Structure 1
Amino acid sequence: MIYTAIDNFYLTDEQLKNSPSRKDGIDEATETTLRIYGCDLIQESGILLKLPQAVMATGQVLFHRFYCKKSFTRFNVKKVAASSVWLASKLEESPRKARQVLIVFHRMECRRENLPIEHLDLGSKKYAELKIELSRTERHILKEMGFICHVEHPHKFISNYLATLGTPPDLRQEAWNLANDSLRTALCVRFKSEVVACGVVYAAARRFKVPLPENPPWWKAFDADKDGIDEVCRVLAHLYSLPKAEYIPVCKDGDSFTFSMKSSDLQSKPASKEVPPSSPLVNSDSNAAKTAPSSGNLESGGSKDELVDPNGKESRRSDDESNNVPTEGGVKDDSVPKSKSEHRNEAIGERNKEREKDRDRERDRDRDRDRERERTKCRDRDRGRDSDREREREDSDRDKARERRRHSKDGGKDSGHSDKSRHHSSRDREYRSSSYSSRDKERRRHHSYA
């Protein structure tokens, strides 16, 4: 059982030999190649994402720690590398979006496998599946680490050690490069950062032929031992002797960041189902074809003359068929097996055909949409005409109502004037009559006094 704690994730050689990948039947060379391949992906993706070196170093350490607990057959090395970069960018406070990580890994896979570089459609089902798988793998890493992702790199010790030893400045860059290369190996899970730093300093000093103090030994001042330093140098020398790491498909989950794996699987399945002409199934079918007409003639109750001619014809046919079978087999045997480039060309041709079909479908959809738009426009025009007619009718009705109101008002005004004139005339008459009566009374008074 491996217990994870802060700066305590270190394994022995026996634990590494009994790793989950070894238990699943993966040999040491394959496991080493896959580890180097995954670290190369992390380093290259970090450069393309413009991440600092600390993010790439943390991602590689998390990658090695994860595969110390899980097997390469259960988790795809490409997806684990992508999730390690994504998680390390968050831990080192240089986060990147999942979309950026997936686009970079998709492009790297196209380049490494010599596939045509295609744009990763962000609205496709493939992108949605990759995004879900990226977050799921990140959760697996966090679960196996116990959410303790503290990483201590040997880089911060190198400058202090070289300054203490008083070495030339050129030695610092060489030791830094060796420390970056050591992350491709399992040294980060075998030795502490101080031991790895002493090992790369010793290797850089040997390469530049710079003497280091040995009496007393310089490594004892930095809490390191000679055996650990020698092992670090041996692992680095073995790393430089290996060829460039290539991807080895050992994972049961064959999905990748491109459609190349699926297309190759689809091409390989129908080829495996074909039966060779020399198989017993073909021979049994030919024998059945030979015996079928004779049995049919025996069952039919005809005369001897009728039996002779058909048998002769059928025997000739069977001879011709038997002569034709090996020639067909010879033609099939002489056929040359297709190479990988031909399979890729066929896959590219199939993709182009599918794209053309998709384009035709999109064109048909666009045409249907245009037709629907024209129909809706015509309907809107008809509706607009009807609405205009209704508006005109309403306006005419309103005008008529207004005219009626005006006529009614004019009639009311005329009747009011006549009533007023009548009222004034009656008042004038009363005034006149009253004035005449008052005058008569005064006259009568004057006449009486006289």
Structure 2
Amino acid sequence: MIYTAIDNFYLTDEELKNSPSRKDGIDEDTETMLRIYGCDLIQESGILLRLPQAVMATGQVLFHRFYCKKSFARFSVKRVAASCVWLASKLEESPRKAKYILMVFHRMECRREGLPIEHLDVISKKYSDLKNDLIRTERHLLKEMGFICHVEHPHKFISNYLATLGAPLDLRQEAWNLANDSLRTTLCVRFKSEVVACGVVYAAARRFQVPLPENPPWWLVFDADQAGIQEVCRVLAHLYSLPKAQYLPVYKDNDSFTSINRIPNPQSHFSKESPVNGNANGSSTPKEYNSQDGSSSSKDAIIKAALDKLKESKKSDEDSKTMADTKEDDTEKSKSDYKSDGNAEKNRERDRERLKVRERDRDNRGRDSDRESRGRDSDRDRDREKERSHRSKDKSSGHSEKPRHHSSRDRSEYHSSQSSRDKDRHRHHAYT
């Protein structure tokens, strides 16, 4: 029997400090900012997609687990966040199509960066590339987690704990909000859900000044320890002290959901090509240029070269646009010619069909006239036969009545002769 443990993904503080992102030269503050930014994307997209809170919570936990094994420099925050939402919607039995997820992330990026909101065409190459990348990133997620995607949230423990402690409803709502905010931190990969739920309840009780039983300590009943509760409160307090999360371009390739090509910054391009020395924002310079005295002149030369490259790329883009416009004009002309030819052929076919219909009508009319004439001839023949039959019947009835009349006369003569004979007999007897 194969046994799969649910609580198999919890890391220590040392493992988090030595994360893959740290090995690629990304410091702790940048990693924390990118984690919060990705969780914000997941939460906002879930609201726009009308997903339940369980889907958004599962997506954020999957997001933190993935970046505990992979680096932010090798996997885009935006693409991974979209894949986490897509995978979590299927895990929580509230699936959404990939088309809707890509459209929502495309619209969010346009709003966040102040770009004009454009419709993401489903037939375009940009959409097909985004969809293929979404599917590919989902496979990476499943592979890194070993297809063990079960997530246990602290939300289901909060209501039970507060009901046991007899806390008011306001405290329950505050603890629920704190549990949602805790998903933006790494608490879900450091502590179990019971410990996070106890820390959230304790923080909410301190905020509303609600006393909790201490003799015996209330957290022992819920399988938690005091050190874990205090660490949860400390991490939440640090989260609320941070500014609003912003996107930091740490990923090497282009991870934009929009179709507008951005103009790259020559300094960031220079920092990507040069080896990074501990800072993820691109502010650090290579060691070779720091050791030299004439670093400013070399920087200016590199910046000029980058600007020249930008100008050349702009010219090539303009040439490609003009070529595309000419191609579109040619295609439109060919389409119009094809449409005119098609319309002429359609008109010819219609005329042919009309002629065929007229010929059919004529044939049908001729057939109907022949049938009517035949019907009239048959009616005349029937009338003649009826007249003949009536005449023959009349003749036969006339011959049969004559002998009947003769017989009646004979009978009357016979009776009259008999009556005269009887009278004569009576007369004879009377004289005698």
TM-score by length of 1: 0.64
Distance 2:110 2:100 in 1: 16
- The percent of aligned pairs where both chains have the same amino acid is 72
Kindly provide the amino acid, as one letter, of the partner of residue 157 in structure 1: F
Distance 2:59 2:346 in 1: 61
SS of aligned partner of 2:116: coil
**2:155–2:197 CA contact under 8 A, matched in 1:** yes
Distance 1:122 1:134 in 2: 14
Aligned match of 2:262: 263
Aligned match of 1:410: none
Give CA deviations for 1:83-131 in whole Å, capped at 9, x if unaligned.
0000000000000000000000000011111111111011110100000
Distance 2:225 2:353 in 1: 96
Aligned match of 1:327: none
**2:219–2:226 CA contact under 8 A, matched in 1:** yes
Aligned match of 2:418: none
Task: Give ranges in structure 2 of 5+ residues lacking alignment.
Answer: 271-299, 301-309, 356-432
Aligned match of 2:96: 96
Q: How does 1:331-410 map to 2 (within 5 A)?
A: 362=328, 364-378=330-344
**1:75–1:253 CA contact under 8 A, matched in 2:** no
Change (3 A) 1:164 1:362: same
Distance 2:83 2:348 in 1: 59
Distance 2:348 2:184 in 1: 74
Distance 1:256 1:209 in 2: 46
Distance 2:77 2:342 in 1: 54
Aligned match of 1:19: 19
Change (3 A) 1:372 1:235: same
Task: Give ranges in structure 1 of 5+ residues lacking alignment.
Answer: 273-331, 333-342, 390-450
Change (3 A) 1:257 1:351: farther
Tell me which moved more, 247-256 or 93-102: 247-256
SS of aligned partner of 1:72: coil
Q: CA RMSD in A?
A: 3.6
SS of aligned partner of 2:335: helix
Distance 1:239 1:208 in 2: 19
Q: How does 1:106-145 map to 2 (within 5 A)?
A: 106-145=106-145
Aligned match of 2:175: 175
Give CA deviations for 1:378-422 in whole Å, capped at 9, x if unaligned.
567789999999xxxxxxxxxxxxxxxxxxxxxxxxxxxxxxxxx
**1:59–1:88 CA contact under 8 A, matched in 2:** yes
Give CA deviations for 1:29-81 in whole Å, capped at 9, x if unaligned.
00000000000000000000000000000000000000000011110010000
Aligned match of 2:233: 233
SS of aligned partner of 2:109: helix
Give CA deviations for 1:310-352 in whole Å, capped at 9, x if unaligned.
xxxxxxxxxxxxxxxxxxxxxx9xxxxxxxxxx9xxx9xx999
Change (3 A) 1:355 1:178: farther
SS of aligned partner of 1:263: coil
Aligned match of 1:35: 35
Aligned match of 1:68: 68
Kindly provide the amino acid, as one letter, of the partner of residue 205 in structure 1: A
SS of aligned partner of 1:197: helix
Kindly provide the amino acid, as one letter, of the partner of residue 264 in structure 1: I
**2:158–2:175 CA contact under 8 A, matched in 1:** yes
Aligned match of 1:394: none
Kindly provide the amino acid, as one letter, of the partner of residue 174 in structure 2: E
**2:62–2:149 CA contact under 8 A, matched in 1:** yes
Aligned match of 2:54: 54
Kindly provide the amino acid, as one letter, of the partner of residue 340 in structure 2: E
Cα deviation for residue 354 of structure 1 reads: 8.7
Aligned match of 1:338: none
Which 4+ residue blocks in structure 1 deviate beyond 4 angstroms?
350-364, 376-389
**2:78–2:255 CA contact under 8 A, matched in 1:** no
Cα deviation for residue 6 of structure 1 reads: 1.3
Distance 1:165 1:195 in 2: 16
Tell me which moved more, 354-363 or 198-207: 354-363
Q: How many residues align?
A: 318
Distance 2:99 2:78 in 1: 16
**1:198–1:219 CA contact under 8 A, matched in 2:** yes
**1:158–1:201 CA contact under 8 A, matched in 2:** yes
Distance 2:222 2:101 in 1: 38
Distance 1:188 1:388 in 2: 76
Change (3 A) 1:351 1:161: farther
**2:35–2:64 CA contact under 8 A, matched in 1:** yes
Change (3 A) 1:377 1:213: closer
Aligned match of 1:82: 82
